[in-house]
Amino acid sequence: MTRSRQKVLMVPAPGEVRFMERELPAPGPGDAVIRPLLSTFKHGTEMMAYSGRSPFARRTFNPELRLFEDRKEPADFYPRPMGSMVVAEVEWAGPEAGTLSAGQTVYGWAPIADRHILPADQVAPLQGLAPEEALCIDPASFALGAVIDGAIAASDRVLVTGLGAIGLFVVQYCAARGAHVIAASRFEKRRDLAARFGAADIRDPAAEDDLGSAVKSGIGGVDAAIECSGNIGTLSQAIRATKQCGRVVCVGFYGPADSRLNLGEEFFHNRITLLASLPAVSWNNPTRGEPAFYAKDLHRQTESDFAAKILAAEGILEPVLPFEDAERAVRLIAETPEAVVKVLLRH
């Protein structure tokens, strides 16, 4: 195969998004050339980069010390591609691409673009999953990791804040374990989905003067809160809502330091356990407890859970927009979050 070009969605600088063309290398014998049919964004992490609030835009992560450090060289965070997962058709598979062959429908992790050349082991055949289910494996795996990290049990009362795709799968996993789920979001569409997915108590934080106080006054607090919004003010409310010696699991990707979080108040005096949950391949973080699940283990489990109908993707991939509207989709996510849950692009 000869070299070709790729039209890919890029963030050239904070607050900017546009399609750019770049040359693709010639595929090797172990590669596959795929043509996307559907693709999605990773709303929290990617919008942090789009807004310029990502910690990686200013500092670099030292993988040996596992510390953020000041960059020693000029920043190279931008330009960067956008996009998370893709369902695609195989156009060509190399002689060492295993069982892949032209015409197969596959899924994997890749930026939003009109074509890709990927190592064959980075994509997998759909094999009975609906395309929408395959595209939700990423958020569902983060949700499962958070529920495992929080040791959610049938006897627990659990507050879930931030009802994007991850939060809605957290609701489903907690409900499947028999927990009493309280789901909170400012957005009506997301509250309706949480109710459909098994939340017993639905809250609108915009209608509460103090969500934490309302939960404490109503039921005495929750055993655990799983915070998926990435908003530090919401994290503060999750801590306030959690009972003495309870636990708060952070799934959202937080930006710069924020004065709305005071660790000298409920966190300290109620002896709250604060847990970060990030089972991502690139960070090599396992879940807590035994057995420890890594990202690939979580991906396999969520695939099984979709197949077993423990999880449902209906209503989560909305709105559906054409690939050509990808630039507008980013602005829609940033400016009118009440109108979206997880944007799906149809190529």
- Residue-wise pLDDT for 20-29, tens only, equals 999 999 999 9
Instruction: Give every residue of the chain whose pLDDT is below 70, as ranges.
Output: 1-3, 74-75, 279-282
Instruction: Write the secondary structure of 113-171 as one string of H (helix), E (strand) and C (coil).
Output: ECCEEEEHHHEEECCCCCHHHHHCHHHHHHHHHHHHHCCCCCCCEEEEECCCHHHHHHH
How many Cβ atoms sit within 10 Å of the Cβ of residue 319? 13
Classify domain 139-294 at the CATH topology level.
Rossmann fold (3.40.50)
Q: Identify any residues that bridge with 19 across adjacent strands, giving them in sequence order.
A: 9
Q: Note the pLDDT of residue 209.
A: 86
What are the boundaries of each domain within the chain? 4-136+317-346, 139-294
pLDDT value of position 200: 97
- pLDDT at 282 (0 to 100): 54
Residue 252: what pLDDT? 87
Per-residue pLDDT, 2: 58
List residues bridging with 88 in a β-sheet.
36, 106
Instruction: Dig out the tokens for 320 from the structure.
Output: 């559906």
* Tens digit of each residue's pLDDT (9 = 90 or more) over 145-192: 999 999 999 999 999 999 999 999 999 999 999 999 999 999 999 999
Q: Please give the single-letter amino acid code of residue 239.
A: I
Q: Quote the tokens at residue 215.
A: 């939960």
CA distance 80 to 115: 17
Q: pLDDT value at position 267?
A: 96
Residues 6+ positions from 336 with CB-CB distance below 8 Å: none
Could you tell me which CATH class the domain 4-136+317-346 is placed in?
alpha beta
Residue 168, class by beta-carbon neighbours within 10 Å (0-12 exposed, 13-18 middle, 19+ buried)? buried
> How do beta strands 157-161 and 180-184 pair?
parallel
